[in-house]
Amino acid sequence: MELNDDLMAVSLEERTRMLEEESALRNMLSGEQARHEQIRKMMEEELLKERQRRVLAEETLEDVRRECRAPFIVPALMEAFIHVSRTTTVVLQNAAASQSQTQTQMPTPASKVAVPPSTSVQVTEVPALLGDSNGHYRIHILGNSGSGKSTTAKELGHILKIPVIPMDEIMWNPGWKPSSDAEFQRKLRRMMDDSPNGWIADGDYLRKGSQIAFDEATDVIWLDPPLILYFPRIIIRTIRRLLHLEPPCCEGCPETVSEAFFSRKSILLWSLSGHWSNRRINAEKMTEFGITNGTRIDQGKMRRIGGWGGELRRWLECVKILVS
């Protein structure tokens, strides 16, 4: 009887041990299965991304092939090179004239660009930023496409700790669909109202309604570098976006080879054609709202920053000192 009890006890212990081992084995197999399932999902996601990249590359290649099937003239690049050639000629002529007038003083790069004297403002003559009575800054940055508005706005936002309002993102919806005037103004107004302690509006969409940012700004910054300085940057930026080394200006608005180089809607042609008209419009604004020489003395808040980069760097340093 005692022997049977011992055998039953041993059998029970053995069965318990076997059940525990079976449970541990099941848990291990379940964990392995979950791990393999996770690896499988990751591989499927990578394959999907690779397919998308391949489709995009094939579409880009097809654009190039389509444009190269027959002899053609690239209108955007042709007009771009013509404009650059003319601009370079003007710069060289101005430099030669300046050198002939004085032999004792070498002309600086900024003096080579013909800008009406009435539109030039020395940033050292006035505070770097005016702001309002509460110490808040509402800044509107103007300038042609590629003049450095977005880069300057981001750096200013970092210095002043205030949000940047990118008007490109307000203007363009996915698929390069433009916002209506009412939609543009509504979005811009909401973003301005959401930042009562200051904001930096980056962009110049006067026809869409960006005038409200100009009117409510405490400071208006007009970036006006020479065309031959910033036009190569636009070309490099466009190529980087085509190669997906840089994000597009707006989400859902990728640039294509055909539109960038072979279309009259090209950003390159847009920048070239808009350089002189943009300068003329902003020069007219300077005559009214210029800080030191505007006709509206009580509303003087606009300054021009031109040159080859040194003036902008010095002004940003002054801003840092102002808020430190």
Strand partners, 178: 172
Is the predicted pLDDT of residue 132 greater than 80, yes or no?
yes
Per-residue pLDDT at 40:
87
Per-residue pLDDT at 103:
42
Query: 196 Cβ partners below 8 Å, 6+ apart?
Result: 136
Top mean pLDDT of 8-22, 82-96, 143-157 is at 143-157
The model's pTM: 0.61
The tens digit of pLDDT for each residue in 219-244 reads 999 999 998 888 888 888 889 988 98
- The string of DSSP codes covering 225-280 is --HHHHHHHHHHHHHHHHTTSS--SSTT----HHHHHSSTT-HHHHHHHHHHHHHH
The tens digit of pLDDT for each residue in 44-80 reads 888 888 887 777 666 656 655 554 544 333 444 445 5
CATH class of 137-323: alpha beta
Per-residue pLDDT at 276:
85
Is the predicted pLDDT of residue 212 greater than 50, yes or no?
yes
* CA 79 and chain centroid, separation: 25
User: pLDDT higher for 63 or 249?
Assistant: 249
Rounded Cα gap, residues 218 and 131, in angstroms: 5
